[in-house]
Amino acid sequence: MVLPVESPAPIAVTRRSLLAGAAALAAAGTMFAGKAVATPSRRFGHGKFQIDVFSDGFITLPDTVIAPDGTPAERADIIRRLGGRQGTANIPVNIPLIRAGEALILVDTGSGDKFQATAGRLRDNLLAAGIAPDAVTHVVLTHAHPDHAGGILRPDGSLSFPNAVYHVAAAEWDFWMGQDPAARYPGLSGFVPGARRDLGAIAGRLVRMRDGDEPVSGLRVLATPGHTPGHISLELAGDDGLLITGDAITNVVASFEHPHWRFGFDTDQDQGVATRSRLIERAAAEKLRMLGYHWTSPGFAIAERYGAAYRCVALS
């Protein structure tokens, strides 16, 4: 696990030091840019963990997926605020690489070449930062959708992270690999072959997880079903709370300001709403910092109560 020499020292982010940390991180981005790294990582400290957030690129989603319950005017406003146009927005993909002692843990793998062509940059961005893919010791999957698990395999069929063990929720594995998932959720049929391909590729390196398990000490699995039946988030031990939310809270506008709206790609949309509402309510009450997979890069934010709902306050 090689770090760029120019890397800034880990920044211990507490609520008090967040503003100072944001300025330092902006400076760090400039330094990375100076080394011709196309997409700089961002570094955060949390307890004993050091987290670098890498971009996998972006995916493009229509307003009918982002906010199917919004009126046309509400959807247009959300797309505008996401920087999109004509009913679609480009949505970032933020992937945390967590160091804990000797462990180098990736949370999700990005799309590889298996989803939209604007995503799949993770491996190149790791290499550009001097991180060898074979140094990754653990991959933890939040779920098996193609923008999260498509990067398990390289185009030639080999594993992108050949030395890692792969942690997958038992419920997620059993759903996709069990009896025809699309029989229960017909809308899923397009995702099933890819999920079976990607999960099948790691069957020999699999660790099945349950709620409360710790893939490494202090990194705890939090079952957050709905987006997929076995979707998980991660809770990191540290002085303040930190949640890695995967796709339990998908969008910086719609999910926070309208937590009771459905999300188009949730497998069980009612369960998705219930999980999202519960998670945001807890995060706001406990002032937990969160890292969102599809939030404004690098995806680090808190939920703040705002009127009858919340707003997403980015922390860098």
Sites of contact with Zn ion (CB under 5 A): 147, 247
Mention every residue, 6+ apart, whose C-beta is less than 8 A from residue 129: 4, 32, 37, 41, 52, 54
For residue 75, report the phi and psi dihedrals to the nearest 5 degrees: -65, -40
CA–CA separation, 161 and 138 (whole Å): 9
Minimum distance, C-beta of residue 149 to Zn ion, in the bound complex (Å): 10
Minimum distance, C-beta of residue 148 to Zn ion, in the bound complex (Å): 6
Minimum distance, C-beta of residue 125 to Zn ion, in the bound complex (Å): 17
Minimum distance, C-beta of residue 146 to Zn ion, in the bound complex (Å): 9
β-bridge pairing 242-246 and 103-107: unpaired
Which DSSP category does 249 fall into? S
Residue (75 or 143) nearer to Zn ion, CB: 143
Residue (56 or 235) nearer to Zn ion, CB: 56
Residue (99 or 123) nearer to Zn ion, CB: 123
Residue (166 or 263) nearer to Zn ion, CB: 263
Residue (52 or 247) nearer to Zn ion, CB: 247
Question: For the chain, what is the radius of gyration of the CA atoms?
Answer: 18
Minimum distance, C-beta of residue 197 to Zn ion, in the bound complex (Å): 17
Placement of tokens 């009450």 in the chain: 285
Placement of tokens 């961002």 in the chain: 42
Single out the residue of 143, 138, 148, 161 nearest to residue 110, CA to CA. Answer: 148
Q: How far, rounded to the nearest angstrom, does the alpha carbon of residue 194 sit from its chain's CA centroid?
A: 19
Element (H, E) at 242: strand 242-246
Collapsed DSSP state (helix, strand, coil) of residue 103: strand
Residue (21 or 150) nearer to Zn ion, CB: 150
Minimum distance, C-beta of residue 163 to Zn ion, in the bound complex (Å): 25
Minimum distance, C-beta of residue 9 to Zn ion, in the bound complex (Å): 31
**Using omega within 30 degrees of 0 as the cis cutoff, is the peptide bond preceding 298 cis?**
yes
Placement of tokens 């929720």 in the chain: 169
Residue (52 or 147) nearer to Zn ion, CB: 147
Give 172: exposed, middle or buried? Use CB within 10 Å, 0-12, 13-18, 19+. Answer: buried
